Structure 1
Amino acid sequence: MTITDFDFICQILKTRSGLLLTNDKAYLLESRLLPVARKWKLATFDDLVRLIRTKNDEAVIRDVVEAMTTNESFFFRDTKPFDQFKQICLPAMLKARAAQKTLRIWSAACSSGQEAYSLAMILSEMGAQLNGWKIDIVGTDLSQEILNRAKEGMYSQFEVQRGLPITLLVKYFQQTGDRWKLSDTIRNKVQYREWNLLNDPAPLGKFDIVYCRNVLIYFDQPTKSKVLAGIAKQMPDDGFLFLGGAETVLGISDKFQLLPGQRGIYGLTGGIKAPTAFGAAPATPRA
């Protein structure tokens, strides 16, 4: 792989997905794109680059971008953000939205759906407390292939063992051979849309709670700022934003500030309230 070819593909990735690759990631680029080359009946990475340069085929470029997108996800990942959802966000929103009885949640860069379905299971466990409420959970990702997996709701033994409490596995999944199928009850609570975070999210509508976890770490600072600004426009003053444990808004955006006494959960600047005002609910069950 030449430096020119590496830079050419890196520019496509940054423009199309915001993904920023450093020079030491050349091995990763080649290893992930060789299967794409074979899919298009090409022998080498160099042949793939040549094809893109000469024909600029949108389908090939799409495959390249999707191959380089990290799709790491698992149920109740890191636990804390789901405890915060139950203990802080929901009590606040149930009180603030008592008249409208509507709530919208966005799982951005949702990958194969585990995050969105984890939220759906928490809501399902609340039972009659949510009678009469209209709750939308929207999962988005730029990869149509991974969204198809999410919609199917079929997971391997390894995937359901990563963070999913055994009580919820038994209650909401049915074993099919060596895989586990999520029940329609939970799958129907989530709708999926193909969406690129680099685009203006206005067409998706407003969201009371946004999960955008472990995504910004792949972007440069201007892209992070752009994404956060877009999310801020789609949130009400009392909304909540979840970022990953290694992510922050410091030095990137003045639209959000950390919720007092919490980690990884943000509100719009000037609009957040201390979580102690809402009380606490039991923690998310653990395996």
Structure 2
Amino acid sequence: LGWAIIEALLNPETWFRRDRPTFDTLGGELLPALSRARTGQPVRVWSAGCSTGQEPWSIAMAALDAGAPVEIVGTDLSQRALEKARTGAYTGFEIQRGLKAETMLRWFDQADDAWIAKPQLRATVHFARANLLDPPTDDARFDVIFCRNVLDDVDPARRSQVLDNLERRLVDDGVLFLGPDEKIEGDSVAFRAVSGRRGLFVKAPSAIRRAA
């Protein structure tokens, strides 16, 4: 009963390439630069609060279009959302919400009344259940973290806890994407906003020194 209540309270709203300028920045600038800097190593991306998977699949499309090797992890608290994300299958309405016909046909196969992510997309993404309030229990770190349109649904008293956990997962020259209208309130020692790029943050030097 407890989990049924939690599932009912979670916000599953998402769509492909939500806030398109974010994905233009990711595929056109960020991933190519990180790929050059990580010679021989894939760029590691975490989609935190990925809901039913449209965001990590959108990240995968941007990476493959850019020719950047990536490893993408999508996590969510909702087991129901993750079950759908893992299928990579979406209705016609869901797939057209954010994707042009050309993109749909390039990255998804139609099967009956569903559109299913192609193998090359599926090979880049792994899904797992995670609570953003839980501190990291391993040493896994990421070059890019997406945590977009998630903080507004977190108790304001606990947002700093989520941001601290995200900072621990981010490499020293890594970047964090929040929603375009989301801000980090207060005097954060963990992240610094990138001027002219809404929702884009880098790990602050003070956070790097603190971890040293």
Q: Give the structure-1-normalised TM-score.
A: 0.68
**Cα distance per residue 1:210-231 (max 9 Å; x no partner):** 0000000012333110000111
Q: Which of 196, 200, 203 pairs up with 1:265?
A: 200
- Supply the RMSD in Å over aligned alpha carbons: 1.7
Q: Taking structure 1 as reference, are residues 204 and 174 closer, same or farther at Cα in structure 2, changes over 3 Å only? A: farther
Note if contact 2:193-2:200 (Cα within 8 Å) is conserved in structure 1: yes
The separation in 2 between residues aligned to 1:248 and 1:201, in whole angstroms, is 23
Tell me, which stretches of 5 or more residues in structure 2 are unaligned? 207-212
Q: Give the structure-2-normalised TM-score.
A: 0.91
Does 2:110 align with 1:175? Answer: yes
Higher deviation after alignment, 170-179 or 258-267: 170-179
Q: How does 1:1-287 map to 2 (within 5 A)?
A: 60-98=1-39, 100-127=40-67, 130=68, 133=69, 135-203=70-138, 205-251=140-186, 253-270=188-205
The separation in 2 between residues aligned to 1:137 and 1:67, in whole angstroms, is 27
The separation in 2 between residues aligned to 1:252 and 1:176, in whole angstroms, is 50
Shift of 1:66: 0.9
Shift of 1:178: 2.3
Note if contact 1:202-1:234 (Cα within 8 Å) is conserved in structure 2: no
Q: Taking structure 1 as reference, are residues 237 and 159 closer, same or farther at Cα in structure 2, changes over 3 Å only? A: same
The separation in 2 between residues aligned to 1:227 and 1:81, in whole angstroms, is 21
Greater fraction strand = 2
- Secondary structure at the aligned position of 2:205 is classed as coil
In the alignment, what sits opposite 2:210?
none
Identity %: 38
**Cα distance per residue 1:146-182 (max 9 Å; x no partner):** 1110010110111111111222201121222222112
- In the TM superposition, structure 1's runs of 4+ consecutive aligned residues that sit over 4 Å from their partners are none
The separation in 2 between residues aligned to 1:203 and 1:159, in whole angstroms, is 35
Higher deviation after alignment, 237-246 or 172-181: 172-181
Computing the radius of gyration from Cα coordinates, the structure with the larger value is 1
